[in-house]
Amino acid sequence: MQEAPNHSHDPEPRSPSGGQGKIIGIDLGTTNSLVATVESGIPYVMADSSGHRLTPSVVHFSAEGAVLVGDSARRLRAVDPLHTLFSVKRFIGRRHAELGEEETGLPFTIIPGANGWAEIECSGRRFRPAEVSAEVLKKLKSEAERTLGHSVERAVITVPAYFNDAQRQATKEAGELAGLIVERVLNEPTAAALAYGLNRMTEHSRIAVYDLGGGTFDLSILELHDGVFQVLSTHGNTRLGGDDLDAAIRGFLVEEILRAGGPDVMIDPLLAARVLDAAESAKIKLSTMTETEVLLPFLTPQFSFSRVVLRTEVEALCLPLISRTREHCLRALSDAKLAREDLQQVILVGGQTRMPLVRRFVSDLFGCAEFDEERGSVRLGTGFHRSTGPLLNTSQNPDEAVALGAAIQAEILSGGFKDLLLLDVTPLSLGIETFGGLMNVLVPRNTTIPVKAGEMFTNAVDQQSSMLIQVFQGERERVQDNWSLGSFELEFQKGPRGTARVGIQFEIDASGILHVLARDTKTGLEKRVDLRSAVDVDDHAVQRMVEESVDHAFEDLRSRRWIEAKLKALETREATQKGLVEFGVELDLVTVERIERAIAAVDAALGEEAEGGGIGPLEKLQAAQQDLDQATQALADLMMDALSAALLERRGLI
């Protein structure tokens, strides 16, 4: 419940607490995992403290019990392969008897566990795959909390579309072990389609999602119905992915090492892991280069290996594996009772689709036109041509698409995106002025319309009789930097602070007109105003506003943090002073003096605020606020006891 401000001449709603109930989106991948969220209507992948957006799905368990996750664990894969677990997604929710020989050929040991489920033996312990995956999710959760600045308890986690119930349940269990409430287990192709913005396509559009990740492959055919994607068919292989490509390249390097007079590295797990890392690195480099040098110094004290590897050599090694996806693609089309000409787009997901070989293969398989982008009715390519097949859409980062889609789904579940059937989008965020002159966004930028969004507000001062609703559009934290769309006032019955209940709702219709409704829920009194179009904004003005929001992002964030801390401090100081008047005689002199010193420290910090509503010493104010909270614990107990006694007395219980 939000509050109106504490000045009666200009009553505005009070800003929300923020962050509560945030749902994040997670792509729990075989090779890498990502966590994403939506801010101001824009989905983005959150980076870790080192600036990396991809977290390797690698966990190292030391003999002493220490656990490392991500890049630090990945670096140990070549040094301590027996205690470094990777590609665990291949085994989650599967029985040991289902695993093929090629899947269990890893440095660590896969064993049958309870009821035949696959388990992993490492560092003298047995781990279920869900437990290992939970360590990855814990790290993603921690990084999300660091970025957002508040705790995160809810998530959407993606899985391949062909995952069975046991695999889905095991994935959900991994999330719960990581301290997350898994709101939804989302199919990866659906997430990818959301990230590509394909919900904006025309009704009954059909899309193929070609997803080749680190350990799995699937091809899904989706059809758009009323803004919702229906999976018509899916086919895939849980034992085909980038790991297999890496293994093929490693096999080639092993032979080259032997041919050069080197050792058989497959005998030694440490050397085998080093060569595997070199193979993966070469594959990645050859997606953008035509050749690269593989250097493996001191495989033995007397032997070092060096060789230039060509892209054509790697493509010859990988083509037989990539060709194995053809059967699944054709089966998926057949099951959907479609021909490739019936598709409007083919989208690429998964890091392996960066390889030029994969893109050529998919383009040939589906008869895609030789262009990468479509803008309006203009198709971009090397020359004039007409499309002879579906669009090969490579507009999104294939590593991040699934995570971004998960974040969008999470925002939908949070109520942020009200309607997926996109007729248009809001070019800038829409909100109201809140206490302290901050912008409280109700409809974020790029929200699909038509849409409804609202919040409940209350009065911040005793006997307040009206609330001024001022509507703004823009991306800045303070309303003075945004554009005013209009304002109106709603009257309500006077009463004690916190007793009014005023609901404010924004509705943008299919024509882009913003309708604002404010209703006093106690009396039913309401006002409705129609403002100008929320989408008819000059493109240059939108670009300028967005650029300004980026340029001033840190400054605006500091302003918001200062204002929020200031409001909290003022509220605490007022409550403390009232409490001292009423209960001060029941406190000892030392406690009273400590409280008065803490209040003085808060006032001193507030007094250093720059003139004209500027920024003050945030850390000093926060420290003073913390001291005041600690000093008033005894006073707070007395006030709570009195409140409880009054409540019981009103109920006739005492």
Q: Which residues are catalytic?
A: 27, 89, 188, 211
What is the CB neighbour count within 10 angstroms for residue 602? 22
Query: Cis omega (within 30 of 0) on the bond before 450?
Result: yes
Both tokens assigned to 484: 């005013």
Which among 263, 216, 272 is positioned nearest to 82, based on CA atoms? Answer: 272
Neighbour-count burial for 187-224, b at 16+ CB within 10 Å, e otherwise? bbbbbbbbbbbbbbbeeebbbbbbbbbbbbbbbbbbbb
Pairing mode of beta strands 32-39, 125-127: unpaired
Q: How far apart are CA 374 and CA 190, in angstroms?
A: 21
The three-state DSSP-derived secondary structure of 393-413 is: ECCCCCCCHHHHHHHHHHHHH
Both tokens assigned to 230: 């229906």
Pairing mode of beta strands 58-61, 67-69: antiparallel
**Angle subtended at Cα 92 by Cα 97 and Cα 61, rounded to the nearest 5 degrees:** 105
Q: How far is CA 53 from the centre of its chain?
A: 11
- Residue 501's Cβ-count burial label (10 Å; 0-12, 13-18, 19+) is middle
What is the CB neighbour count within 10 angstroms for residue 398? 21
62 vs 69, 130, 178, 271, CA distance in Å? 12, 19, 20, 20
283 vs 34, 247, 258, 505, 576, CA distance in Å? 21, 11, 21, 52, 64
